[in-house]
Structure 1
Amino acid sequence: MTYRGWFLTTTVLAALALWPDTGPALADTAGGDDDGIDDRSEISSGANGTSGPPYSETAQLDTGEEEEAPEEPLLLEADDLTVDETLELVILTGSVRLAREGRIVLADRVTYNSRTEVVTATGNVVIIEESGDTYFADYAELEDGLAEGFIDRVGGLLIDDSRVAARRGIRRADGSVTMEDGIYSPCLPCAQNPDRPLIWQLRASEVEHDAESMDIIFRNVFFDVFGIPILYTPYFSTPDPRVRSRTGWLTPSFGSTSTLGQFIDLRYFVDIAPEQDATLRARPTGERGVLLSGEYRRRFESGRIEIDASANQSEVLEGGDEEFRGHVFAQGRYDIDENWRISGELNRTTDDTYLEDFDISDLDVLESNIQAEGFHGLNYHTAEVLSFQDLRGNVEDEPIILPWMRSSIVSEPARYFGGQLFADSELLYLRRPGEGRRSPLEGIGTFRASTDIGWRRTIYTPIGVVADVELANQASFWATQDLLDDNGQVAGETSDDTQAFLTVPRLHASARYPFVRHGETFTQVVEPIVAATIAPSFTSSDFEDIPRNDSAAPELDEISIFRPNRFAGIDRYDGGSRLTVGGRYSIDDGSGRSASILLAQSFRAEASDLFDPATGLADATSDIVGRVDASAGRWLDLNYRFRLDDETFEAKRHELTATSRLGPLGLMGRYTYLSDVAERQREELLLSGSAPLYGGWSTRGLYRIDLEADAVTTWQAGLRYTCECIVLDIAYQEQPQRDNRSILLRVSLANLGDIGFDFGFDAAENE
């Protein structure tokens, strides 16, 4: 007879524990059948006390002892159940399933011995722990409600998909598992050759999975690569995959550079609390002493904070005295409420070369700030304090801004005459340190207040013309201390009385009229674009009492040419009446292949001495700017931006970028040409690519050349191997202009961490 269903096996265990009393009842319910097979419904009837053990809850309460909490019942499912009264065995066969307290046992056959209370499972045994870890075996003996026992020839799949295997495994009541002659690896066997050794594995005489401390401990460990022992250690420990974070040592990294000599990075992670942690680092070096550093991170309910700092005692310049060196990078944010938040950054270092010497950062300018922001519907308000540290050397000192307050208020769209009112205002005080006065900007202080009030609207006409109209007035006031005039003298009668006021009313309108043609296989769009600006005209003399803090380097391109002010800031204003015309043409076949071109040029009544001739905006007719985009699906994307002289059509700027994906092969190339940049031309070519090789291997490379100087600035080549259990990176980089070469090797082992080797050396030392 075949039976299916779930049972409360506590009743079965209680009945078998008092076999002499319950045996006759079991025989009677069997109807005298000699096959020993009993109906499950009759066995479970002992739960109501009619044929169960002779005790009751009342009798237990009379003892005066505190009643223990009842254990969770053992649930079971099987195709067949057999009771052997002589041997006091219950035998379950055929797709047996036992479950208790989150632990599940599957097997082909399970035997329960009522005398020893031992469960024996054979045939395709699977034990699924509450944690999600799964163990496999052909034979297992379990007792104490499946809580402990041993398993022969055990294999395990942990929740992070890593695998363990052992000759024998012992499970204790606390959930810990000890395996003899164990192997651990997250690597998958080769699909084509399953018998081939794994990429890497840990092989130990004993592997202990401690459930209480959540550690996996290895004793007498060999680290094998493709079956070949590479390293040995008598003891190794790693956290259980369920551990989110744990205080302890991280994998070190090693290296050598011409600046530091040989070094080792030692890192210790401190798990302070679920919401905060820290990493402490020590880097002993051969040439620059010991670098001590640390990182602290913490999250709050409404914010976060991160701090990264370091300290060192070494020479700034070769042959100089040793002195304290260090840096601090810190950032944080706090949400005050749903409308306001405060954030800030602190980025400082002791000298210009410290970050580069210790390979901490490649930033040229460090910015520190603290900012309060408010969001109220469409309106935005902010107050900010900024300071900068320039690490480039021989450049003018960066400013200190204290404060910079801005407010942007806008009405609901289409509320006033079909458009929107806006008011943008700001208040700024800026001070540039510097006593040498190497440039007119050094050593000055500027107070600036500005308000821009206006109305704007987007109009969609019935014939398809889209027009944007803006009518506004900007009023600004400057008060500057220690401003130099053209003769290098402080402007004004005293150092505090240089003041200027400027008001700029403007009308700016643009219109575009797209013509669309739909073909059988493609769509074409021709879109003329016209923009007109009416504003007062200005000359350089109108700004002689206004320092050029935020408007030093205007850039003419296909985007800025349509703006009412081509300067980046408001310390200079591109005034006068002008007309900008342009057009865009595009074609698209709807399958990923497309092309477009945009051309534009600006015209004004007369030339302007506000712009440097190199910008292309000084003449009455501006340079021609444009952009070409083309796509041939995944295999080719082109982007070409250019600026041409309006008379000779000589190239002033070229920037061509091409990317291609030819199957798995990825290529990218960029050519950049800029004329008259800092009194010199810039011409550069950058090529990079990546390609897969075989069996998880891929290669990548980069080549950058300064065509103006006819010199290679950087070239790199590297290999990467990637699979489910390891990432191996090998890269070589050379910077000939800096006489610098470096080799990077980094190995990342799944679930164990990564280790890196960084070797740098001067090219001159090896010639």
Structure 2
Amino acid sequence: MSGASSLGRLFSCAGFALLWAVSFCVLAGIAGAQTLPKQIPQSQSAEPSLTKRFLKQKNKRDPNAKMLVTANEMIYDYKNNKVHAVGGVQIYYDGGVLEADKVTYDRVSNKMFAEGNVRYKAKDGNVIHANALDMTQDFREAFVDSMLVETPQRTRFAASRADRTEGNITVFSNGVYTACEPCRDDPKKPPLWQVKAARIIHNEGERKIYYENGTLEILGYPVAYLPFFYHPDPTVKRQSGFLPPHVYSNNRTGIGIEVPYFWSIAPNMDATVAMVPFTRQGLLAKAEFRHRLADGAYLIRAAGINQTDPQAFGVLSGNRDFRGVLEASGEFNINRRWVWGFDGALLSDKSVLNDYHLEKQLTQATERTSQIYLIGQKDRSYFDMRAISFYGLSELDVNNQLPIIHPVIDYSYFFGNPIFGGELSYKINFTSLSRQEADFAPISKLAAFATNAAGNSDTSRCLATAATPATCLVRGLPGDYSRFSAQLDWRRTITSDITGIQFTPFARMRADAASVSIDPTTNISNFVTPGSNELIRAMPAVGMEVRWPFISVHSWGTQTLEPIVQTIFRPNETKIGLFPNEDAQSLVFDDTNLFAIDKYSGYDRVEGGSRVNYGLQYTANVHRYGMVNVLFGQSYQMFGQNSYSIADMANTGLNSGLEDRASDYVSRIYFQPTGRFSFVTRFRFDKDDLSIRRFEAETTSRWDRLTLSTIYARYEAQPEIGFLERRHGIYQTATYKFHDYWSLTGGVRYDLERGKIDFGTLGITYTDECIAISAVYVADYTNIITSTAVQKFLVRVNLRTLGETGFKQNLGSQVTSASGN
């Protein structure tokens, strides 16, 4: 094919030695009876094997089928009891078509011999090309000279001769197998990859293909030789056997070699087990079990090792004798509206997943979440209940500071019939959680920062023994906290037929009840009085939103100018600081919540006091030039107490732009000239001097072969809520398909505040009908576990129908691995 030469040039530039190494992994895996357990198993009937498709078995024949022969000339040899069809011969039989220059039928032996431009097309689509074909009438036994087989799966067998015996065994002499299309420009060119063998034996009963004296060739060059290997035929989806190997290298664990064994227990059940010897730490045992049931599926994964040299990990969490992990996940349908599931993990320490390559993704996870959940959904209601626990994987994480949620319940319902002409709905939330230690965060550079065992400082966490309200805030309280919240909403939109003004009156009633038990841990008394407390609060609200759109129609398009005013009347928020703030700490004032009745992100805080939100929105739709939307607005506390100016233990509301009576200004500009390009910006301007306090811009463009995305953000420091420095950066990603088979991807994030790149990725991919190759490099300079950057390099090669292998190297910590499947 035309892309083969490009592929060869890339390999020369990138290093042909890498290709040889990867190819060895592929062949080593094939030698171990490669299987393809890519998905959770499903019950399925066995599919016909490859040879069954092009040489039919008699049990697939129609006993009443008739043979139709057309030819230029029919010669009857009564003396030898033969019939010769000569010239443009076409024989139709049982859905198949045999074409040849000449076909001789021997009535005594019940055999047919076709010669000259032989082409046989089976009724399932397989096509055989040959110089000569000798077969029995029922095709149970046959041999073919100079044969080429093309299958519907776009795979090809070629051989100088093929013999079929016993109705289910076909032997290809001097055979070649490939899944690649021939090059259109030069069909004589070797395919991108092919397997040559002195003999290729296809055993249909076993559904396996055996190779004797086999050689894997890539771009016509032999890269590996194996005297004997086998793999399932292309119709096999799951089969017991050894999987391709994984090779790991780590300066703390040594070199490890894994050869997993896949056990297909049943059509809906399988297991994968492996024993991985590491030269420095001993034997790691791994197992994975998968089971699909009629109403769902679950998975269990476990690994464990008794380390022989735990001191290799120094002061890190890996310095222990036994290390292991137990993970399980599943989801099950109760009925068509209800589903329940779970996802859990037990880890011996924070770094076991990374040290022993138990994470499958390229980027390193920051936490493990365990949960069990129940979800139900109907036309007008939604229910979600789950219990959750978190396990931090950073060496700086203190897991006693992370909450255990037991449980959180959300329920919402919309009434179908109008109530007073409007929509009535309600929602309920119940949250119960526990935490062993208080979670402090700094609000001043004078705070004493916590450090891990390696001496690394975590500037996002205060030292508990030095925590005071002047230097720290509280992200989470120690002890137990349970809260029940119920909210009733009503709203109705009325549009004036004369002016077009939209009036939307609304009403809300919110009630919260909580039980709080605060443990007297270190210095928590500096922020709140330890002990138990029962709390109740209520917040009624009524208001009106008015929109007056002015619409004008022109020859070039339409434009709409829409003033918006929203007034909300309600009493002051009560018990601020007594209710713990666990779920309402993420407060970002922008265009998305300018007209929200309550701008808090959760239930632990509720907005109080009477407020007016107002803004101006402009929208233009221009023929052939797309659309533009602009919003500019502000919020104003009319009377009562401003909730955002009263700090809780997390200081939520301070430095938000809402803490003063007149808020900062917020705006949005959205521009989409075509379906291929979009641009959006969001601003927050200081109300006094119009300086930019928060700015975001994002563009996305899609062209014929190029896709670009740019995100720029600048957030001024918000020390009172824990952001001590300004955050300022730009993130650019791009994908360029510079050839039909080649694509290049990349991304870089630049920290403008520190003047350096803190994250980057670069990848290249080649994909055609028979091979897929990808190489990805990732550099992450935001690692807080160590002071060095995390750099990873991943190469994956997939030879269609043979298998996939990979090579992974962690450049930052001298960790490498190679794997296949």
Residue 401 of structure 1 and its aligned partner are, at CA, apart by 1.9
Contact residue 563 and residue 617 of structure 2 kept, 8 A: yes
Structure 2 equivalent of residue 62 of structure 1? none
| Pairs within 5 Å for 1:588-603 | 588-591=621-624, 593-603=626-636
| Pairs within 5 Å for 1:447-596 | 447-462=482-497, 463-482=499-518, 488-489=524-525, 495-496=531-532, 498-538=533-573, 542-591=575-624, 593-596=626-629
1:749 maps to 2:806: no
Structure 1 equivalent of residue 734 of structure 2? 689
SS, match of residue 655 in structure 2: helix
SS, match of residue 689 in structure 2: coil
| Pairs within 5 Å for 1:57-136 | 72-80=63-71, 81-93=74-86, 94-100=88-94, 105-129=98-122, 132-136=125-129
| Pairs within 5 Å for 1:638-653 | 638-653=679-694
Residue 712 of structure 1 and its aligned partner are, at CA, apart by 1.9
Distance in 2 (CA, whole Å) between partners of 1:488 and 1:447 is 19
Contact residue 323 and residue 349 of structure 2 kept, 8 A: yes
CA separation of 1:485/1:524 partners in 2, compared to 1, >3 Å: closer, same or farther? farther
1:319 maps to 2:322: no
Aligned residue identity for 1:684:
G
| Pairs within 5 Å for 1:82-231 | 82-93=75-86, 94-100=88-94, 105-129=98-122, 132-231=125-224
CA separation of 1:83/1:530 partners in 2, compared to 1, >3 Å: closer, same or farther? farther
| Pairs within 5 Å for 1:568-717 | 568-591=601-624, 593-605=626-638, 607=642, 608-610=645-647, 611-633=652-674, 636-677=677-718, 678-694=723-739, 696-717=741-762
Distance in 2 (CA, whole Å) between partners of 1:289 and 1:465 is 76
Structure 1 equivalent of residue 767 of structure 2? 722
Distance in 2 (CA, whole Å) between partners of 1:243 and 1:210 is 13
Provide Cα deviations, 1:383-426, integer angstroms capped at 9, x if missing partner: 3322222334355612122233333233104x222223223223
Structure 2 equivalent of residue 356 of structure 1? 354
Higher mean alpha-carbon deviation, 234-243 vs 508-517, is at 508-517
Aligned residue identity for 1:245:
R
Distance in 2 (CA, whole Å) between partners of 1:435 and 1:666 is 46
Contact residue 587 and residue 653 of structure 2 kept, 8 A: no
Distance in 2 (CA, whole Å) between partners of 1:482 and 1:342 is 33
Higher mean alpha-carbon deviation, 575-584 vs 450-459, is at 450-459
Aligned residue identity for 2:478:
G
Contact residue 368 and residue 391 of structure 2 kept, 8 A: yes
Give the percent of matched residue pairs that are identical in Structure 1 and Structure 2. 26
Residue 467 of structure 1 and its aligned partner are, at CA, apart by 4.3
Residue 472 of structure 1 and its aligned partner are, at CA, apart by 2.0
Provide Cα deviations, 1:628-664, integer angstroms capped at 9, x if missing partner: 2223436643222222212222222222222333431
Structure 1 equivalent of residue 270 of structure 2? 277
Residue 251 of structure 1 and its aligned partner are, at CA, apart by 2.3
Contact residue 257 and residue 759 of structure 1 kept, 8 A: no
Aligned residue identity for 1:614:
N
Structure 1 equivalent of residue 481 of structure 2? 446
Distance in 2 (CA, whole Å) between partners of 1:494 and 1:702 is 49
Distance in 1 (CA, whole Å) between partners of 2:248 and 2:636 is 59
CA separation of 1:239/1:509 partners in 2, compared to 1, >3 Å: closer, same or farther? farther
Structure 2 equivalent of residue 403 of structure 1? 407
Contact residue 709 and residue 734 of structure 2 kept, 8 A: yes
Contact residue 200 and residue 224 of structure 1 kept, 8 A: yes
CA separation of 1:257/1:317 partners in 2, compared to 1, >3 Å: closer, same or farther? closer
CA separation of 1:400/1:741 partners in 2, compared to 1, >3 Å: closer, same or farther? closer
SS, match of residue 676 in structure 1: coil
Residue 753 of structure 1 and its aligned partner are, at CA, apart by 1.1
CA separation of 1:164/1:514 partners in 2, compared to 1, >3 Å: closer, same or farther? farther
SS, match of residue 472 in structure 1: strand
Among residues 729, 732, 735, which one is paired with 2:777 in the alignment? Answer: 732
SS, match of residue 680 in structure 1: coil
CA separation of 1:477/1:733 partners in 2, compared to 1, >3 Å: closer, same or farther? closer
Count of aligned positions: 693
Aligned residue identity for 1:692:
K
CA separation of 1:592/1:342 partners in 2, compared to 1, >3 Å: closer, same or farther? farther
Residue 220 of structure 1 and its aligned partner are, at CA, apart by 0.5
Provide Cα deviations, 1:603-638, integer angstroms capped at 9, x if missing partner: 113653245432111111222222222234366432
Could you say which structure has the larger radius of gyration? 1
Distance in 2 (CA, whole Å) between partners of 1:217 and 1:156 is 17
Higher relative contact order (CA 8 A, sep 6+): 2
Aligned residue identity for 1:300:
L
TM-score of the pair, normalised by structure 1: 0.83
Among residues 419, 424, 431, which one is paired with 2:422 in the alignment? Answer: 419
1:236 maps to 2:229: yes
Contact residue 279 and residue 294 of structure 1 kept, 8 A: yes
Residue 666 of structure 1 and its aligned partner are, at CA, apart by 2.6
Distance in 1 (CA, whole Å) between partners of 2:117 and 2:778 is 54
Residue 564 of structure 1 and its aligned partner are, at CA, apart by 1.2
Distance in 1 (CA, whole Å) between partners of 2:611 and 2:548 is 20
CA separation of 1:420/1:605 partners in 2, compared to 1, >3 Å: closer, same or farther? closer
Structure 1 equivalent of residue 390 of structure 2? 388
SS, match of residue 476 in structure 2: coil
Aligned residue identity for 2:200:
V
Residue 231 of structure 1 and its aligned partner are, at CA, apart by 0.6
Distance in 2 (CA, whole Å) between partners of 1:735 and 1:622 is 37
Residue 233 of structure 1 and its aligned partner are, at CA, apart by 0.3
Which stretches in structure 1 are left out of the alignment for 5+ residues?
A: 1-67
CA separation of 1:460/1:212 partners in 2, compared to 1, >3 Å: closer, same or farther? farther
CA separation of 1:381/1:743 partners in 2, compared to 1, >3 Å: closer, same or farther? closer
CA separation of 1:87/1:227 partners in 2, compared to 1, >3 Å: closer, same or farther? same
Distance in 1 (CA, whole Å) between partners of 2:608 and 2:793 is 54
Provide Cα deviations, 1:681-715, integer angstroms capped at 9, x if missing partner: 21122222232345733333222222222222223
SS, match of residue 742 in structure 1: strand
Distance in 2 (CA, whole Å) between partners of 1:317 and 1:682 is 37
Contact residue 252 and residue 756 of structure 1 kept, 8 A: no
SS, match of residue 116 in structure 1: coil
Contact residue 383 and residue 403 of structure 1 kept, 8 A: yes
Aligned residue identity for 2:794:
L
Higher mean alpha-carbon deviation, 459-468 vs 524-533, is at 459-468
Contact residue 612 and residue 638 of structure 2 kept, 8 A: no
Structure 1 equivalent of residue 460 of structure 2? none
Residue 741 of structure 1 and its aligned partner are, at CA, apart by 3.4
Provide Cα deviations, 1:264-305, integer angstroms capped at 9, x if missing partner: 443332222222223334554455554433333222221221
Which stretches in structure 2 are left out of the alignment for 5+ residues?
A: 1-58, 441-463, 465-473, 782-786, 816-821
Contact residue 89 and residue 103 of structure 2 kept, 8 A: no
SS, match of residue 206 in structure 2: coil
SS, match of residue 235 in structure 1: strand
SS, match of residue 489 in structure 1: helix
| Pairs within 5 Å for 1:14-25 | none
